[in-house]
Amino acid sequence: MNIENVLATRYASAEMNELFSVKSKIIFERQLWVTILKAQKQLGLDISDTVISDYEAVITKVDLDSINERERTTRHDVKARIEEFCFLAGHEQIHQGMTSRDLTENIEQLQIRHGLEIISNRVIAALARLSALAIEHQDLVIVGRTHNVPAQITTLGKRFASTAQELLLVYRRLTDFLDSYPLRGIKGPVGTQQDQLDLFEGDDKKVSELEQIIAEHLGFEKVFDSVGQVYPRSLDFEVVSLLLQTASAPSNLAHTIRLMAGHELVTEGFKDGQVGSSAMPHKMNARSCERINGLTTVLRGYLSMTSGLLGEQWNEGDVSCSVVRRVAIPDAFFAIDGLFETFLTVLDDFGVFPKMIEHELEQNLPFLATTRVLVAAVQAGIGREEAHEIIKEHALAEARERRENPHSTNGLVERLANDQRLSLNHDDLKPLLENPMDFAGNANQQIQEIAKQISDIIADHPDAAVYNPETIL
C-alpha cells in the first residue's frame, strides 16, 4: 500500500518535492561521502583514484527496495545505505572516521538551506506581484475597516503595499538567516572529532581542513565549533518559526480577500469549468485563500512539534528528535511551498468589481469622513472631546436609522450641518466629502516607497521575480 504525502503531492512544487525526496537525499549523501574520500586522500590518507571513481560511477544508481531490505536486517538506516553504496562500488572505504550524524545532519542542513533559498525566491516573486498590484490600484479608493467595521478611506493599492511591507520584513530575516546559518560539520560520535584525529595521526590542522572542505562542498560559510552528536535543536525551531513568519503576510491578505469577496468587492479568480459547490451551482468560493489560511495552521502545528525538541537533549544526543524532524521539517517546507504556489496564483488571478466598491463607498462615505469633520470642528474653535461626542451622537443615530430603514438616504451630513454646537455648515462640510481620494492620506506615498524597495530586490534577483507557479488543484 502506498499512502501519499498530501502536502507534497497536492500542494508543493515539483522543485521542493525533488529536494526532499528520498532518492535525492541518498544522492546528496553519496556525493558527500565521495567528497570526504577525496578530501581525505588530498590530506594524505591512502585512498586510490580507482576507489573514488568506482564510488562516483554509482552515485545515482539508487535502488530503494534494496536499501529498505538491508535496513530490515540492520535496523539502522545509515548502515543500510553504507552497505548498499559499498556493494555497488565494490569497495568498503567510505564513512571512515564518521558517525551517522556526520552524514545525516549535514545533508539535512543542506536540504534546509536549499529549501530556504527556494522560499526566499518565492517571496521575491510575491513581492514583485504585490508591488505591481499596489501601483495598479493605488487610486482605487475603498472602505478601510478596523475590527471589520467601516473606519476610514484607504486604497486597495495600500492594502497590497501593507502586505508587501510585512513580506519585506520576513525577506530580510530570511536573507540574514541564510547568511548566518551554520553547518554541524564532521564532529564524530560525541562531537570531539576523535576518529578523524586518529585517521590523521593527531594532526588537528588536517581535521580542520577536512571540515572546511566539506563546508565549502555543501555551500556553508560557517561551521559550529562545539556540538555533541547533534546540533542544537533550537536551530530547527528557528527554521520552522521563520517559515511560519513567512506565511503571515500571505495569510493576512488571504483573510482580507475572503472578507472582500464575501461583500462581492473582489475575486481571487474563478476559472472556466471551475465548480464552487457540488450542491449550489451559483457558488464562487474563495477556496484558494482558504487553502492559504489552512496551510498556515498546518505550519503552526509543525512549529509546536519542533518546539518540543527544545531543552530535551540527553547528554550528547539521542534519536528521539529524529522521529519529529523527519516529519516536521520536510512537511513544513512542503506546506510553505504549497502556500506560496497558491498565493502567487491568487495574486495572478486577482480581480476587482469597481461598481460594487463604489456602491459600498456611497453607503459609508459620510461615516468615513468623521475624523476630518472632527479636525475641522476643532479648527473652528470647539474642544476636541466635545466635538467627538457631538459627532458620535449623530453618527450613531444615523447608523440606527439606516439599520431600521436600509433604503433611506444617508442623512449624517445634514444632521451635522444643522447642529449649531459644531459651528460647521454645509459649505464647511462639502469640501471634506467631495473627493474621497483627498482623504486617503499618504497612501500613495507609502505605496511608492514600498515599490522602490521591492524594485531594488527585483533588480538583484530578476529570475526569481518572474517565477510562475505550477497549476494548482
CA nearest to 175, candidates 127, 220, 116: 116
Contacts 24+ apart (CB under 8 A), 152-157: 152/368, 152/371, 152/439, 153/368, 153/369, 153/436, 153/437, 153/439, 153/440, 154/440, 154/443, 155/437, 155/440, 155/443, 155/444, 155/447, 156/266, 156/352, 156/357, 157/133, 157/443, 157/444, 157/447
Active site residue: 53, 277, 304, 408, which one? 277
Torsions phi, psi for 267 (to 5 deg): -140, 145
For residue 277, indicate whether it is catalytic: yes
Question: Secondary structure of the chain in the HEC alphabet?
Answer: CCCCCHHHHHHCCHHHHHHCCHHHHHHHHHHHHHHHHHHHHHCCCCCCHHHHHHHHHCCCCCCHHHHHHHHHHHCCHHHHHHHHHHHHHCCCCCCCCCCHHHHHHHHHHHHHHHHHHHHHHHHHHHHHHHHHHHHHCCCCEEEEEECCEEEEEEEHHHHHHHHHHHHHHHHHHHHHHHHHCCECCCCCCCCCCHHHHHHCCCCHHHHHHHHHHHHHHHCCCCECCCCCCCCCCHHHHHHHHHHHHHHHHHHHHHHHHHHHHHCCCEECCCCCCCCCCCCCCCCCCCHHHHHHHHHHHHHHHHHHHHHCCCCCCCCCCCCHHHHHHHHHHHHHHHHHHHHHHHHHHHHHHCEECHHHHHHHHHHHHHHHCHHHHHHHHHHCCCCHHHHHHHHHHHHHHHHHHHHHCCCCCCCHHHHHHCCCCCCCCHHHHHHHHCCHHHHCCCHHHHHHHHHHHHHHHHHHCHHHHCCCCCCCC
| Residues paired with 146 in a beta bridge | 149
Which of 147, 180, 282, 407 is catalytic? The answer is 147
- C-alpha triplet 59, 65, 71: angle, nearest 5°: 90
Query: Which residues are designated catalytic?
Result: 147, 277
